[in-house]
Structure 1
Amino acid sequence: MSKVLVIDTNKRQLEPVHPAAARLLLSYGKAAVFRHYPFTIILKEARTNLAVQPLRLKLDHGAKTTGIAIINENDGKVVFAAQLQHRGFAIRDALISRHQLRRGRRARKTRYRKPRFLNRRRHSGWLPPSLESRVANILTWVHKFRKYCKIAAISQELVKFDTQLIENPDINGVEYQQGTIAGYELREYLLEKWNRQCAYCGIKDVPLQVEHIHPKSKGGSNRVSNLCLACESCNVKKGNRLIQEFLKGKQGLLNKILSQAKRPLADTAAVNATRWELFRRLKETGWPVECGTGGRTKFNRTNLRLPKTHWIDAACVGASTPKLKVDGVKPMLIKATGHGTRQMCGTDKYGFPIRHRSRTQIHQGFQTGDIVKAVVTKGKKVGGYFGRVSCRATGCFDISTKDGRVQGISHKYCQVIHRKDGYTYCF
């Protein structure tokens, strides 16, 4: 189980404790809840004489989800784990939609406004908003953990794939390419590209083999554009036949495989565009930053015989990975939701105005996005509810719980557990 973060009355980071120990401190009145996400308690006295072991923060940077793990290098225990879901693709789609609406307005028979062309200066290190949000989300949580536990170093998966090794598997002269992790880079790339399933039958959760689309015995190369993944059964059936012959009568599947083989990964492009900027900003924190590759991460995870999840990948990043103890760890799932929209005029899907949004966001002391606890004592909705609240000016709120959305809860029954911060949480 993930441990509870602890600070003293002077907000000095202390050793994380087991949840049972945290419950005892809270029940005896020696501590109070300081923050619910991540769950942190604050002692009611200063503990200046306690020695605190340094921890290492590990990051497995992804385009959609980033794995986060805090480990104690002395004993290999995973102190805390989380998976952070980004909203970069949602931002990209929103910007595309806005661009299309504005372009449509300019094309109508109304007042013409010239489009703007690079009339705003961009500072050094500028990234598009969809990419900047990924970096900002990770840095936000790095600084949060810095406040609540003693982080001494960071490990980041800087290079997801070694593209030079992928393009030319026979390359020589680099130590690790000749060593024990040779082949992990290419296989990890193919797993991402083919969604971890057989390209021919679509089966998942079985051992997959690297397969040549155009047989090597008939002139096929080892380039990544000629490789896919296949289960043992499909690989044996295909043999050294041409793919057109093997998939005769399945023209739709044939076209899908050939187009997928040549299509680049949007996720990989997003990671490659942000990795160095994230590395630069992590270096600015003053902590030592260790770098690793996706091949090294998989090599460590395979040797430790651990399942593949984002937070376990994060714990396995870098050459400093000890023998990990992950039993009972329950990761926190963090989803970036943003802080709402500043658009005052709501539009339909064609861009025509249909409603006006109010500037007032706080109603009866609550704001949409707050996590609340509501205990309803009378009426049709008697019971307890916990989740994200959607506010209305009437004071009649909706609460999104794990079992669904509950409508019509009065603000009188609501109590704020966690103020809106642009994220939602679950386990």
Structure 2
Amino acid sequence: MAVFVLDRRKKPLMPCAERRARLLLARGRARVHRVVPLTIRLVDRLQEDSTLQPLRLKMDPGSQTTGMALVREPDTTDTTREDTIRALTVLMLLEIQHRGPSIHEALTQRSSHRRFRRGRLRHRPARFDNRTKPEGWLAPSLQHRVDTTMAWVDRLCRWAPVAALSQELVRFDTQQMQNPEISGVAYQHGTLAGYEVREYLLEKWARTCAYCGAHNTPLEIDHIHPKSQGGSDRVSNLTIACHDCNQRKGSQDVAVFLAKRPETLQRIRAQAPAPLRDAAAVNSTRWALYQRLKATGLEVEVASGGRTKWNRHRLHLPKTHSLDAVCVGSVDTIHNAQQPVLTIKATGRGSDQRTRLTKHGFPRGYLTRSKSAFGFQTGDLVKAVVTSGKKAGRYFGRVAIRATGSFNIQTATGLVQGIAHRFCILIQRADGYGYALTKRAFDTGEAGTGAAYAAALSLPGMNPGVSRANG
């Protein structure tokens, strides 16, 4: 995983390898600017004295998770060569976990509490017609996805010399799926033929056989109403089935094939015409995100989900959000794709509520007005070195404070309770996000323990940048 590098004026330089970052810190040529993601600042270099290579930030927006990838592109300044291979070198993989569902639940709970209080305590006339929404308005849970993605685009552009952006604008080309002949036979026999429909059906039917529920097995496209009996190729008439079920069904209509299983038949008939789950959220935010990306002034490349899947299959990459981001747009080859993934979870900055509420929305207890204790705030990244007692050891993670001075630390391996504040060292202030380093195998998705974070804390030059908070 690359390390971000800034010059002495905090302008971005080319990212470097972890080994080089350690040497720069050990020789006193750099200081730790930020721990997660690791960013160093050179004390003897300016951006004008450095050579910058073209970097591109790719993203695969999703309903729950957005994948990002920072890649280095080949030098295309040589216009004499027309056969330049677009070989991308992956510098960093990131996955942003949105908190849209929690925002939706909080707003729903607040609405129900308000409705209960108004109905029981006092009557107020309806006011839903008194407010108008501006053009382009998005629900808070959807607007959060756009804002969070743009916040990290801005951060990465401040830490690295990003020259271009890539976005998966359309998850599925629904127009092509509804009318396959809209662009003629050339589209049907091109390199992307069928990928839009296949990926759509796999997502819609949760990658399981619609008839027997089998998963982790090769799946085939099946016509619910057989094509030999006049069935169409529209996605509302398509499903996925394992090889055995597809062979047993043959050219039968689904009503005949599932005559003895009415529950399964009813489920398939109800799910077939329904749109893909979470597709509405992605479709509502994709254009808003695209307009925000264009406003940055950088070149924006857009592509469809079908092309992303085609690139992933051609390059034999596993399906993850971050590797999907690498495969967005035009790609020929990829280097250095097997590396840890930085998972960024949006946690928010706490609540402004000053009371605990009952199930009916009435206050039942008051909270302290101070959000800090002994120099710490909930969400800060800390390192705790406990020298004796039952909790002896070294811990690194996000802290949850108490006014008593007995803190809880959420580490990569679990929650550690009852750590005294005097053992805690502040590493990084809370910024509304939780971080975890996932070390994935290339084909298994195996998770690690975040040991790289602990290794980062021992970098030379780290200790002068932190301070012990003793209250």
Give the TM-score range, shorter chain: over 0.9
Which of the numbers 264, 267, 271 marks the counterpart of 2:278? 267
- Equivalent position of 1:76 in the other structure: 88
Structure 1 counterpart of 2:178, one-letter code: E
- Equivalent position of 1:56 in the other structure: 56
Residues 1:401 and 2:411 are matched in the alignment: yes
Q: Which segment drifts farther, 136-145 or 185-194? A: 185-194
Structure 2 counterpart of 1:315, one-letter code: V
Residues 1:197 and 2:197 are matched in the alignment: no
1:258/1:326 CA distance change after superposition, 3 Å:
farther
The percentage of aligned residue pairs carrying the same residue is 51
Which of the numbers 160, 166, 179 marks the counterpart of 2:171? 160
Task: Tell whether the 8 Å contact from 1:5 to 1:149 is kept in structure 2 after alignment.
Answer: yes
Q: Which segment drifts farther, 258-267 or 65-74? A: 258-267
Aligned residue pairs total: 424
- Equivalent position of 2:348 in the other structure: 338
Q: CA deviation at 1:173?
A: 4.1
Residues 1:134 and 2:145 are matched in the alignment: yes
Aligned positions of 1:293-332 closer than 5 A: 293-319=304-330, 321-332=331-342
Residues 1:113 and 2:129 are matched in the alignment: no
1:247/1:416 CA distance change after superposition, 3 Å:
farther
Structure 2 counterpart of 1:181, one-letter code: L
- Equivalent position of 1:415 in the other structure: 425
Partner of 2:335, secondary structure, is coil
Structure 2 counterpart of 1:59, one-letter code: M
- Equivalent position of 2:193 in the other structure: 182
Which of the numbers 364, 367, 378 marks the counterpart of 2:374? 364
Structure 2 counterpart of 1:373, one-letter code: K
Q: CA deviation at 1:246?
A: 2.9
Task: Tell whether the 8 Å contact from 2:58 to 2:166 is kept in structure 1 after alignment.
Answer: yes
- Equivalent position of 1:65 in the other structure: 65
Which of the numbers 214, 234, 244 marks the counterpart of 1:233? 244
1:360/1:233 CA distance change after superposition, 3 Å:
same
Whole-Å Cα distance in 2 between the matches of residues 175 and 71 of structure 1? 32
Task: Tell whether the 8 Å contact from 1:7 to 1:14 is kept in structure 2 after alignment.
Answer: yes
Partner of 1:37, secondary structure, is coil
Residues 1:354 and 2:354 are matched in the alignment: no
Partner of 1:328, secondary structure, is coil
Whole-Å Cα distance in 1 between the matches of residues 125 and 348 of structure 2? 31
Whole-Å Cα distance in 1 between the matches of residues 275 and 118 of structure 2? 33
Whole-Å Cα distance in 2 between the matches of residues 115 and 424 of structure 1? 40
Task: Tell whether the 8 Å contact from 2:93 to 2:342 is kept in structure 1 after alignment.
Answer: yes
Structure 1 counterpart of 2:56, one-letter code: R
CA RMSD of aligned residues (A): 1.9
- Equivalent position of 1:4 in the other structure: 3
Structure 2 counterpart of 1:105, one-letter code: R
1:213/1:176 CA distance change after superposition, 3 Å:
closer
1:381/1:123 CA distance change after superposition, 3 Å:
same
1:153/1:218 CA distance change after superposition, 3 Å:
same
Q: CA deviation at 1:6?
A: 1.0
Whole-Å Cα distance in 2 between the matches of residues 349 and 244 of structure 1? 47
Q: Which segment drifts farther, 395-404 or 200-209? A: 200-209
Partner of 2:290, secondary structure, is helix
Partner of 1:254, secondary structure, is helix
Residues 1:258 and 2:257 are matched in the alignment: no
Q: CA deviation at 1:118?
A: 4.8
- Equivalent position of 2:79 in the other structure: none
Which runs of no fewer than 5 residues in structure 2 stay unpaired?
Answer: 75-86, 438-471
Q: CA deviation at 1:269?
A: 0.5
Whole-Å Cα distance in 1 between the matches of residues 127 and 405 of structure 2? 43
Q: String of CA shifts for 1:146-194, please: whole Å, max 9, x gaps.
A: 1111100001111111111111223234964552212111111111111
Partner of 2:216, secondary structure, is coil
Partner of 2:58, secondary structure, is strand
Partner of 1:237, secondary structure, is helix
Whole-Å Cα distance in 2 between the matches of residues 68 and 311 of structure 1? 5
- Equivalent position of 1:44 in the other structure: 43
Task: Tell whether the 8 Å contact from 1:73 to 1:322 is kept in structure 2 after alignment.
Answer: no
Aligned positions of 1:7-46 closer than 5 A: 7-46=6-45
Whole-Å Cα distance in 2 between the matches of residues 249 and 359 of structure 1? 63
Whole-Å Cα distance in 2 between the matches of residues 328 and 309 of structure 1? 12
Whole-Å Cα distance in 2 between the matches of residues 380 and 220 of structure 1? 69
